[in-house]
Amino acid sequence: MTSLFAFIVAIILIVAIHEYGHYLAMRLFGVRVLTFSIGFGPQLFAWRNKAGTDFKVAALPLGGFVKPLDRRDCDVGEDEQHEEFSGKPAWQRVITYAAGPLANLLLAVVLYWLMMLGGESGRIPYLAEPVAGTAAAAAGLHADDEILSLGNHQTQNWPQVITALLDYAGERDTAPLRVKDATGEERLLQLPLADWADAQETHPMEALGLKPRPFKALVGDVGADSAAERAGLLSGDLIVSVDGKAISGWQDWVGVVQASPEIALEHLVKRDGSDVRITLIPEKIDRDGVILGLAGVRPGEDVADVRHIHYGPLSAMTMAVQRVGSQVVTMISSIGKLVTGQLSVKTLGGPLTIADAAGSTASLGWVAFAGFLAFLSISLGVINLLPVPMLDGGWIVFGVIEMIARRPLPERFLMAAQSVGLALVVCLMVLAIYNDIVRHFL
């Protein structure tokens, strides 16, 4: 339910912003707007404003539209000609078509700006020891190396590493990688990309063997009346071993606890520089039919592994604009790679993929969800600017041609082009939904 609700909220918001961009431009140029719809299908509710526009919300929140007074699909009286859309100058129609995608990009800038005002916190991109035979090992990376930059991107945390990797999707050569080892010495390496190009549906870090250095088994918040509290664990304790076996990190310890419900586990922990021995008996819980052990603690933050970045209002805006610009360039590049076959069409995602991403980011908090909304808004804006008939970009191209030729394009040509564009868009949607079905159910 979380994924479904988050998906609906995300789609409604970015579609409403997109269509409101078109609506404002139409009203600016004196065009009468008959209908402003969020979603398709049966109407759920509607209202009419003083300008005579019917605002409605429909049952299927997979898009929307703004319908102006237009002689191509309705009768226009002589006294209404000045409010009709297709009779407006070509430059006004071009601006109107561009206003929707630009509204999406503006929304992304605002969302990123708000996120930046709160600062950025993320794990420093320290590496675990690469597995032999992976691209990371072939590049000469080692445990505790910090990734300083990848390609043209500075990488101060792991999300920035992943963003930088997306520039190389589908490529088979190498990516320049600048790293710093534990002694502070910097090295410039070349990361082979062929393994990822051969497994494009795999997460790039997994395909390339880039593994983050494990979290230390550092105790954070201890739940009231939890097994950990009864055992005497305190916030700040570092778990060294369990039953004499060394603990390599947080996930290692969680695995031991979950595998030992109601079993006494002898812990050795570091507390304020001293060794302390504690006996923990994990509670038994039933999680979806699986019996697990539960200690009742949250991981502590290892300040040595986390980087906090702070911005002022102006620097936050600069970073927000740069991030949107970088993602626009990456998306355009990815679309080009799809067209040329360099990037597999299997990487396309549909509603189920979007819903999964919406739910997972919403569960992480508003900052992560806002980042997802920004990315989705950029995606909608870029896709709609593609020069494909039926999309805003196609009508922009036709408007520019009309401005150059100084005469309207034939209506028969425009209608035929719209039919071709509709067929192409439907085919891409069907392909994305098919990919979703294969990815989630087959």
Among candidates 280, 282, 295, 299, which has minimal Cα distance to 221?
299
279, 250: one domain: yes
Strand partners, 222: 297
* pLDDT-above-70 percentage for the chain: 97
Q: How many CB atoms lie within 10 A of CB 135?
A: 22
95, 59: one domain: yes
**Model confidence at 2: pLDDT above 70:** no
What are the structure tokens assigned to 286, written together? 């039933």
54, 30: one domain: yes
Question: What predicted TM-score, i.e. pTM, was given to this entire model?
Answer: 0.82
Number of helices (H), then strands (E), in the chain: 13, 16
**Model confidence at 261: pLDDT above 80:** yes
**Model confidence at 129: pLDDT above 80:** yes
> CA 386 to CA 350: how far, in whole Å?
18
> CA 258 to CA 435: how far, in whole Å?
34
Mean pLDDT for 49-64 is 87
* Full residue range of the structural domain in which residue 26 is found: 2-118+375-441
- pLDDT tens-place string over residues 347-395: 777 776 776 777 777 666 788 888 889 999 999 999 999 998 889 999 9
* DSSP class of 363: H
What are the structure tokens assigned to 247, written together? 């603990």
Where is average pLDDT lowest: 56-65, 381-390, 428-437? 428-437
Q: Give catalytic residues, as residue numbers.
A: 19
**Model confidence at 1: pLDDT above 60:** no
**Strand pairing of 245-246 and 265-271?**
unpaired
Where is average pLDDT lowest: 150-154, 312-316, 334-338, 428-432? 428-432
In a domain, 337, yes or no: no
Contacts for 363 with CB less than 8 Å, ≥ 6 apart: 2
Q: Is 307 helix (H, G, I), strand (E, B) or coil?
A: strand
194, 245: one domain: no
Q: What is the pLDDT of residue 202?
A: 87
Q: Which of 301, 326, 361 is the last residue of a domain?
A: 301
What value does the mean pLDDT of the chain take? Answer: 89
Among candidates 2, 332, 55, which has minimal Cα distance to 167?
332
231, 294: one domain: yes
- pLDDT tens-place string over residues 92-128: 999 999 999 999 999 999 999 999 998 888 889 999 9
Total structural domains within the chain: 3
pLDDT band for 140, please (50, 70, 90 cuts). very high
Most confident residue range from 8-12, 137-141, 424-428: 137-141
Q: What is the pLDDT of residue 225?
A: 92
Mean pLDDT for 54-62 is 87
- pLDDT tens-place string over residues 263-305: 999 999 999 999 999 999 999 999 888 999 999 999 887 766 8
114, 126: one domain: no
In a domain, 362, yes or no: no
Strand partners, 271: 274
83, 125: one domain: no
In a domain, 236, yes or no: yes
- pLDDT tens-place string over residues 164-218: 998 898 899 999 999 999 899 999 999 999 999 998 888 899 999 999 988 889 9
278's enclosing H/E stretch is strand 274-280
55, 16: one domain: yes
112, 128: one domain: no
In a domain, 319, yes or no: no
**Model confidence at 53: pLDDT above 80:** yes
Report the CATH number that the domain containing residue 151 is assigned in CATH.
2.30.42.10
